[in-house]
Amino acid sequence: MKKFTNSCVISVTVAASVLLTGAIASHADALMTQAAPPAVAPSGSHGTVTKDRVNVRARAGRTAEVVCQLNKGDVVEILERKTSQEGDKQMEWLRIPLPASAKCYVASRYIKDGEVTADAVNIRCGPGGVYKDVGKLAKGEKVEVVGTHGDWTQIKPTAHCSGWIAAEFVEIAPEPAPAAMSPSASAAPEVAISPVTLPIEPLPPSLQPAVAEPEVHVQYVVKDGILRAVADPANAPGSYELMTEEIGLRQYRIAYLETAERNLQRYQGKHVRVLGNQRWRQGDRYPVIIVERVDMIW
């Protein structure tokens, strides 16, 4: 009888352990399902133009070149916002993709049979190097040619082309509200159990949080200095650099120079003034100037 009693106790203990383990697993599955809802990608911001003949400019400013115009009811995608000081007034600007009606130009020597033959080729808002760039092209990229005007080829705007429109003429659409969870879906079953520590599995590489790109500060600059070829261009962001004049028998680097359309060899060792967009990536020691124009200083 004693042996029979012990067997019954053991059987009841095993059964209870199995039930408790099943309850713990069910509760853990429910908690994990509730804690990890499927990710929903946010939609981009859009807006509607509120007036006719609204200018789209090459830069965020009232004095920048006009690339094209939009009319009331046109819908635009908003890529970036920026504030500029216009006299004693601040204006907000929105960067948008250029519409198909915008006129874009590329130096003809970089286009062959509708294909780009060099890297980092500027797309400009007019047929000449004095016009502001509104995008860039990579080597091998295909473009739709509209026509040729001397040394410049007009193309249809690509996905890289963008311009700026005054925010006061755009009505921005409100962001959609997130869908609320139903009470039945959010409620977890209540199970009286002891605390259980569950092992945490590492996320697969595809779900690992993305590492933020270093911040890049961009501004239009005018800088003077001595233009010089880089000694080791393979390990530099440009083939040329802008240096100070000799200070105590030494020269100091001001910036690297990047250009796809200008031969800077003739300015080697000369005192010049460089105009263009300067990119300075956080953590880099020197900025890079995308050369738009070079003037000799006599």
Residue ranges for the chain with pLDDT beneath 50: 2-5, 7-43
Cα 58 from Cα 274, distance rounded (Å): 20
Regarding whether 167 and 127 lie in a shared domain, the answer is no
Cα 58 from Cα 131, distance rounded (Å): 9
What tens digit of pLDDT does each residue of 148-203 get? 888 999 999 998 899 999 999 999 888 666 665 555 555 555 555 555 555 666 65
CA nearest neighbour of 57 among 95, 105, 101: 95
What tens digit of pLDDT does each residue of 14-29 get? 444 444 444 444 444 4
Q: Is there a domain that residue 6 lies in?
A: no
Regarding whether 146 and 132 lie in a shared domain, the answer is yes
Enumerate residues 6+ apart whose C-beta is below 8 A from 114. 142, 143, 144, 145
Task: Report the pLDDT value the prediction gives residue 225, as an integer from 0 to 100.
Answer: 93
Task: Report the pLDDT value the prediction gives residue 34, as an integer from 0 to 100.
Answer: 42
Residue 197 is which amino acid? T
Sheet holding 66-70, edge to edge: 66-70, 54-57, 162-166, 89-97, 80-86
Regarding whether 165 and 50 lie in a shared domain, the answer is yes
Q: Which domain does 138 fall in, by range? A: 103-153
Token representation of residue 106: 């590329």
Regarding whether 76 and 161 lie in a shared domain, the answer is yes
User: What does residue 104 show for φ and ψ, rounded to 5 degrees?
Assistant: -125, 145
Cα 294 from Cα 225, distance rounded (Å): 11
Regarding whether 147 and 133 lie in a shared domain, the answer is yes
Q: Residue 297 gets which letter from DSSP?
A: -
Token representation of residue 275: 């105009």
> CATH number, domain at 250?
2.40.50
